[in-house]
Amino acid sequence: MSSAAVAPMSSENVCERVCNVACERPTKPEATVLSDDTILAIARRAGMLVMLDGRIGRETYQSVTGSVSSLHRFVADMYNLILDGASR
């Protein structure tokens, strides 16, 4: 990839910001943490395929696949949700 293809960034790297926000411990009550169903719905909305691989007891195993562009949409949606939650 040429250096011209990479957009200039501010002093803080976007990946570092996402990681820093995502790694912080939630300061809100546990009820506001996103459920598995919500996360999977966001993945589906981003264009990813969510497949049920199996169930063992109460545990459900699922696979999520998709294109890199759908992964970008998923990350953008999650990033916005995290920032919205952090700003409240």
pLDDT digits (tens, 9 = 90+) for 53-79: 999 999 999 999 999 999 999 999 999
33 residue type, one letter = V
pLDDT value of position 82: 85
- Rounded average pLDDT over 37-45: 95
Cβ neighbours of residue 86 closer than 8 Å, sequence gap 6 or more: 21, 24
Q: Given the DSSP bridges, would you call strands 49-56 and 59-65 parallel, antiparallel or unpaired?
A: antiparallel
- pLDDT-derived band at 3 (thresholds 50, 70, 90) equals very low
- pLDDT-derived band at 83 (thresholds 50, 70, 90) equals confident
pLDDT value of position 88: 66
Contact between residue 13 and residue 19 where contact means Cβ atoms under 8 Å apart = no
CA distance 85 to 14: 18
Residue 19 has pLDDT above 70, yes or no: no
- Rounded average pLDDT over 21-40: 68
Structural domains present in the chain = 29-88 (3.30.1370)
What is the pTM for the complete model shown? 0.60
